[in-house]
């Protein structure tokens, strides 16, 4: 199974943009890239997903490298409520939830 690699933790200042990197060098052509986040004592929460093109939604932007071997989640203006563990995940086409989770990046937001 293809896997993802993320930094263990990152720090950012409040109200600044945050770029969370993810490496997935063994991704297959039919794997989707998803991002979820998990706040303390809660279940994961969907953030964004994409296949080949960059994607934007109200929460974040997803930038996917041309060779699809890496991607970056962009939080445009981090707040204290964005402090969470962010997971970069691959989803094989044909299964909705057989997600292959990485170890995640713990995002620390400094006021």
Partner 1 sequence: KAGVTQTPRYLIKTRGQQVTLSCSPISGHRSVSWYQQTPGQGLQFLFEYFSETQRNKGNFPGRFSGRQFSNSRSEMNVSTLELGDSALYLCASSSNPPGDYTEAFFGQGTRLTVV
Give the whole-angstrom CA distance, residue 29 versus residue 83.
Answer: 32
Binding residue for partner 1, selected from 8, 29, 40, 41, defined by CB under 8 A: 41
Q: Which residues pair with 55 in a beta bridge?
A: 62
Single out the residue of 27, 33, 62, 87 in contact with partner 1 (rule: CB under 8 A): 87
Rule CB under 8 A: say whether 42 interacts with partner 1. Answer: yes
- The answer for residues whose C-beta is within 8 angstroms of residue 6's C-beta and 6 or more apart is 20, 21, 22, 23, 86, 87, 88, 102, 103, 104, 105
Residue 68 beta carbon to partner 1: minimum distance, rounded to whole angstroms: 17
Considering CB under 8 A, how many residues would be counted as binding partner 1? 22
Does 29 contact partner 1 by CB under 8 A?
no
Residues 6, 88 contacting (CB under 8 angstroms): yes
Residue 94 binds partner 1 (CB under 8 A): yes
| Residue 53 in contact with partner 1, rule: CB under 8 A | no
């Amino acid at each position: 199974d293809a896997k993802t690699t993320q930094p263990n933790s990152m720090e950012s200042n409040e109200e600044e943009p945050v770029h969370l990197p993810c490496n997935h060098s063994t991704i297959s052509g039919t794997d989707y890239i998803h991002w979820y986040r998990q706040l303390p004592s809660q279940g994961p929460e969907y953030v964004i997903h994409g296949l080949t093109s960059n994607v934007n939604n109200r929460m974040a932007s997803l930038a996917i490298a041309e060779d699809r071997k890496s991607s970056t989640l962009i939080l445009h203006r981090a707040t204290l409520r964005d402090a969470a563990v962010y997971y970069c995940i691959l989803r094989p086409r044909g299964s909705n939830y057989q997600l292959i989770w990485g170890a995640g990046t713990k995002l620390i937001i400094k006021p």
